[in-house]
Amino acid sequence: MPHFDWLVVGAGITGCTLAERLAANGKRVLLIDRRAHLGGNCHDAPDAAGVLVHTYGPHIFHTASREIHDYLSQFTEWHDYEHHVEASIDERFVPMPCNLNTIRDLWPDQHVELERALLSRFSYGTQLSVSQLGEVPRFREVADYLFERLFKGYSKKQWGKWLTELDESVFARVPIRLSRDNRYFTDTFQGPPSDGYTAMMTRMVLDSPRIVVLLGQEFRQLDRSLAYEGVLFTGRIDEFYEYSYGQLPYRSVRFEFETFATRSVLQRTGTVNYPTSSPAHTRSTEFRIITGQGGDFTTVCREYPLDADATHEAMYPVPCASSHATAAKYQGLATHERRVQFCGRLGGFRYVNMDQAVEWALDIASTIV
């Protein structure tokens, strides 16, 4: 009977980090995933035209942590890339997150006065939410305009809820920056793995003799003859408990890929956001801009958010009062588990970036070994 020290459920960035660290410290690991590929939502692969695309939407690794960057650098080189995003608003394309350049583009006749007023009230480089900006009477009209054009419609499309129904943290993820830095992320280390996320995670787990990988494998249908001492679960915590307190709300995305025969790129930035109710998609991403890949074709991906269901993978925990209350009940059950730990975006029911997922996994692995 095969025996393992740990069963890791989910072969995304969290699961692969857990498996690699445990195996590096002498543990026997069984890593499973219900999907037929490694990488989870970070999975990437060449499309029919040979363009390397991110199967589940754009992923740009970024971190301020040298430790995390150095850890992943054992398994990949990096493509030097700083992500830029524009928002299509009032027939203009303006930088996102909103910064002083965005204000210049939206108020071309008033931007000098507005910038002077903003920098007399806040220091250069300050980050604040649109609601914080609106608390200052002088800037309430500007804040209202930005809320209506950049945040309100995008939130409804992305989350299926108005911003007033969601946590304040949703505002904080896309701040207003009082600077002229058009980069979407400001972390020290940025850019995707040079030959893709799937290649990186393949090296993390398939090169180890202590890791056995089973793809296309449902947790509940795992061969009962397999033995393991404990479980590290990165899937949905509500699914693990068979929805005993009801389903937690997750959003998913329907992806529409279109390939064009051209050696040039079509967008000015890697991603373009569409924050108003029309068009129906939230953003479009051109992967060649992100990967630096050349060739005779370019592929654009458009994203249409919808609720997660049996055919659409859970991707984004919906952060609101009712979901946190339900999650707390499941987390209460988890405190009584002796052989199971939950982690990752789905297991912990909280949004984490890739570097945060890696850090979480490294922390757990360090307590085990």
**Tokens 């002077």 — which residue?**
116
Domains and CATH numbers, the chain: 3-40+66-72+194-248+317-368 (3.40.50.720), 90-182 (no CATH)
29/106 Cα distance (integer angstroms): 54
Q: Name the phi and psi angles at 160, rounded to 5.
A: 70, 15
Q: Name the phi and psi angles at 2, rounded to 5.
A: -60, 135
**Tokens 């991906």 — which residue?**
301
For the record, the structure tokens of 361 come out as: 């996994």
Secondary structure of residue 113 in the 3-state scheme? helix
49/297 Cα distance (integer angstroms): 7
Can you spell out the DSSP letters for 303-364? EEEEE-BTTB---EE--SHHHHHHHHHHHHHHTT-SSEEE-HHHHTTS---HHHHHHHHHHH
352 class by beta-carbon count within 10 Å (0-12 exposed, 13-18 middle, 19+ buried): middle
- How do the pLDDT tens digits run along the chain, 369 residues long? 578 999 999 999 999 999 999 999 999 999 999 999 999 999 999 999 999 999 999 999 999 999 999 999 999 999 999 999 999 998 899 999 999 999 999 999 999 999 999 999 999 999 999 889 999 999 999 999 999 999 889 999 999 998 888 887 776 667 899 999 999 999 999 999 999 999 999 999 999 999 999 999 999 999 888 899 999 999 999 999 999 999 999 999 999 999 999 999 999 999 999 999 889 999 999 999 999 999 999 999 999 999 999 889 999 999 999 999 999 999 999 999 999 999 999 999 999 999 999 999 999 999 986
Secondary structure of residue 226 in the 3-state scheme? coil
Can you spell out the DSSP letters for 175-194? -EESSS--BS---SEE--BT
Residue 301: what residue type?
Answer: C
Residue 288: what residue type?
Answer: R
